[in-house]
Chains A and B, each alone.
Chain A
Amino acid sequence: MKILVCVKQVPHKDARLEISSDETWIQDESIKFEINAYDTYALEEALRIKDAGEAEVVILSIGPDRAIQALRTALGMGADRAILVWDDALAGTDSLGIAKALAAVAKAEQPDLILTGLMADDTNYSLTPPMLAELTQLPHVTAVVKETQQNGDIVAERELEGGALEVVKLPRPCLLSIQTGMNDVRYASLKGIMQAKKKPLETKSLADLGLQASDVAPKVTLEKIFLPPRGKGAEIVEGSIDEIATQVVTKIKELGLL
């Protein structure tokens, strides 16, 4: 069984984020990065399937050179090999462009199972996993909190609103996007770290995947990111409880809120 795990390198949760001067992203030159938290649960789930039987775990990421660190982390935790895709044309692409590049690798690798995180901590779109599934024509479910293998099928529990769960069954190959908290993510062992450097790590360009820059040209472009303006100062109401209540009611009436 081959499991393809898609991971994204995102700014470290402790990194101090500042908006870049062109207001379309953050200043990311000197901050620390890590694997998107959602993706770590997907990786852990793949490693558990591997631990329970025969499986090859392949890590796939799209990102510049610095993303090699994320791949190495995953290899240190026990993944078997890693593929990094990068091309300058991918720098400004949108979710569909990313999904196309991932799909090109997935088509070449022909995995039995694709695992991704439900969303990325940095952009918060939750678009790439379903797009990747559609482009590879795989059945897929999102927000998975539990999965079991059953005679070539996968039975997955999904999280619904209000704490409810639903159980779905889908045949392999398929794609699951994983919710956080699904499992306890392991730490890399020192042995794992030592082995990581010997494991295959391929880098591929768009051309290697048979894609052109125009294939990943964005249809959605990021115009601006900003922090919402601070609200105006609050009015402090003082006095006894009765006086405060009277003033608050008067104020609400004045504002026409009642």
Chain B
Amino acid sequence: MMGCMDFSLGPELEHIREEATKLAGGFSDEYWRDKDERKQFPWEFYNAFAEQGWIGIAIPERYEGAGLGVMAAGVLLQAVAQSGGAMNAASTLHLSIFGMGPVVHHGSEEMKQRYLPPTARGELHVSFGVTEDDAGTDTSRIRTFAEPDGDGFVINGKKVWNTKAQQAQKILLLTRTTPREECEKPLDGMTLFLADLDPAHCEIREIPKIARNAVNSNEVYIRDLRVGPEDVVGEVGRGFRCLLDGINPERIMLAAEAVGIGRRALEVATAYAKERIVFDRPIGANQAIAHPLADCHSELEAADLLWQKAAWVYDQGDIAGGEANIAKLRAAEAGFRACDQALQTLGGFGYANEFNVGRYWGEARLMRLAPISQEMARNYIAERVLGLPRSY
């Protein structure tokens, strides 16, 4: 129909959603609660997805991936998050899915041939090493430095919030190769390396944290880590630009996951509100219970369209910065609010681990902080979409 928008996912994406839901459905809330409480990486879950080729969903076909876009990856990760595995499940997979974006777009042919196939097969784990304590969101102020040494470099510094560093063999490491003061622009003079996460030169310390404990977050202390010229992703001095190819897909996928977690929480809350009898009737008959759940549902539906639009724009070849930040902002709010309302709906039982919504709540809270804070997403929208003056 000319002029009509098609909001269906289409047969292939529906197929992906159906199969990912089926596979993730084999891992129960009890499984995830156990992994979370014991802080154990969910290898059984990861391997199940790796064996069926899901890790390579966004890696080009010539490097053994499926060559699909951010939309397909978002559909997969949303199904995984919605299974009850929530952020634990999504984080287990999503770094392998979007993390190698800079290598796909900017890596040398040799680097791609060497590292993309094992990533697609799920054998190679790569941690993302960007954030630092003293830089935070102001990435230009990172201090990890790669000093030229022969034809290569020697890296010293410290990274923080390295997801899955304990499982990773490699690290995508953003370093300074020219001091900030000597650069024309603050974000110049940085170089991205695909380096060995060599225990002799990288000390990993886990960060105890509120939630999402099946997947570790770490500090990585880097001392005299040698890298060769072949380990540079893209060009020396232009590392930050290479990272941009990973940043927006990450935000879009996070948005898809946030909607997934919110939907799961809403399913639990809705089922509970229908069955829980207080004062001789189901609590869902009370509008004070029902209306907030209706609000959450409508917010999740709106956010769902936003991430899909962002994914579509990105897959069309656009950088999709505005769309990605808008989707991430709204989906993180909608997902967290649905989890919070689910907790409220379950009353005291919501606070008991057995009912799982507390776990969803803790994990959805992370969505408002990572991979970028809601405040910085708003700054992007204000400055880059609305054209308002920069505030910082």
Contact = CB atoms under 8 A, between A and B. Distances in A.
Interface of A: 68-69, 72-73, 76, 187-191, 193-194, 196-197
Contacts of A196: 15
Nearest to B55: A190
Given A187-B19, A189-B51, 11 more contacts: A69-B15, A73-B19, A76-B15, A187-B23, A188-B52, A190-B16, A190-B54, A190-B57, A193-B12, A193-B16, A194-B66
Interface residues of B, number: 17
Contacts of B14: 69
A191 B22 CA distance: 16
Given A193-B16, A194-B66, A187 B11 contact: no
Contact of A73 (B15, B48, B53, B54): B15
Contacts of B54: 190
Main secondary structure of the interface of A (DSSP, over half): helix
A188 B12 contact: no
Contacts of A69: 11, 14-15, 18
Nearest to B66: A190
B15 A187 contact: no
Contacts of B23: 187
Contacts of B321: none
Interface string B77-101: 0000000000000000000000000
Contact of A191 (B11, B16, B53): B53
Contact of A72 (B15, B22, B53, B66): B15
B239 to A, nearest CB: 31
B11 A193 contact: no
15 contacts: A68-B11, A69-B14, A72-B15, A73-B18, A76-B15, A76-B19, A187-B23, A187-B48, A190-B16, A190-B19, A190-B53, A190-B56, A191-B53, A191-B66, A197-B11
A187 B53 contact: no
Interface string B324-346: 00000000000000000000000
B15 A189 contact: no
B123 to A, nearest CB: 16
Contacts of B16: 190, 193
Contacts of B57: 190
Closest 7 CB pairs of A and B: A190-B53, A189-B52, A188-B19, A189-B53, A187-B23, A191-B53, A190-B54
Given A190-B57, A191-B66, A194-B66, A72 B52 contact: no
B72 to A, nearest CB: 9
A193 B51 CA distance: 14
B298 to A, nearest CB: 18
B124 to A, nearest CB: 17
